[in-house]
Structure 1
């Protein structure tokens, strides 16, 4: 599976537009809960009283790893249900992913987020949502800046409030470290005397 041609550039532009709308720069951590609020999407966790108790016990107990969140259609709108027993950075990633579906205006019934992967009727939609959520949480330009500064996966994760695996994925998929390494190598090359 691959993203459709030109989607990465589209996701980059959309993420920058969203950050501008939220009043945050490219190198600032994005709060996915504030993004959901901005778009009128309510976020509820599994402790919501309207959810079946047996299902809640299942997904917060023995099957906690199998359910991170879902975007659920309600009338003309949607709500996000998140698994409140997951650690904060995983929950932030879940909300960003579900909001990516909203921003991309994906048609959906229920989209279930399972860890850092999702299940729905279309894996193409899931790839798009994963790419956009990554771009929202750690924009390409921010990943490259962090790579030039020599930040580790851990320092990137801590600053942007994402998981180390998300930080590593974004630093790799944006080629941030490779670009920083190649550029720094070129800077170290001696300049021939006759060039100036």
Structure 2
């Protein structure tokens, strides 16, 4: 399933607007937890006592990979419950994804972020949230800057504080390296034909 027409441009614009609101340049790491705080979204982990103990044991143990986070409606507000046993960079991506749902004002009862399992939100909403969260973490313009600098996926991941998998996806999805390569081919480095004596 592809994104609706024009959504990628919308995601690029919205991500840059959010970064500007946070006082963060396009080519800088973004803290998804700070974004949640800015929008008044509390983030809880599975250690909180008000969560059902059997479910907590289940998702912290044998089914830890099945649950990353849930965006829950609480009264007129929203909260995020995240799986804190996951690796830090994965958690950052998860929170960015949940905040993308918030920024896009997706209607929901419960939105689950999970790997290798079903989610309760429609597939098109998940795709939109994935696209926007990617733009929030590594904007298209930032990916292209990294490509022109010759950064590897590992370097991109380290700088933007995401997983290498996320870095690879963004570098591929934005065609950053392909654009950088074509640009170099179109504008080759000038050759110097003058001799040392002529330069003097």
- TM-score computed with the length of structure 1 as normaliser: 0.94
Q: How does 1:1-196 map to 2 (within 5 A)?
A: 1-115=1-115, 119-188=119-188
| Counterparts of 2:15 and 2:65, CA distance in 1 | 28
**Does the aligned pair in 1 maintain the 2:66–2:116 contact within 8 Å?**
no
Query: By how many angstroms is 1:116 displaced?
Result: 8.9
- Is the contact between residue 65 and residue 116 of structure 2 (CA under 8 Å) also seen in structure 1? no
Structure 2: unaligned runs, 5 residues or longer: 192-200
Alpha-carbon distance, 1:29 to partner: 0.4
RMSD: 1.6
SS at match of 2:187: helix
- Structure 1 residue ranges (4+ consecutive) displaced by more than 4 angstroms after TM superposition: none
Q: Which runs of 5+ in 1 are unaligned?
A: 192-196
Q: How many residues align?
A: 191
- Using the size of structure 2 for normalisation, the TM-score is 0.92
Question: Structure 2 CA distance, aligned partners of 1:42 and 1:133?
Answer: 18
Q: What do residues 140-167 of structure 1 show as CA deviations (whole Å, max 9, x unaligned)?
A: 0000000110101000000000010100
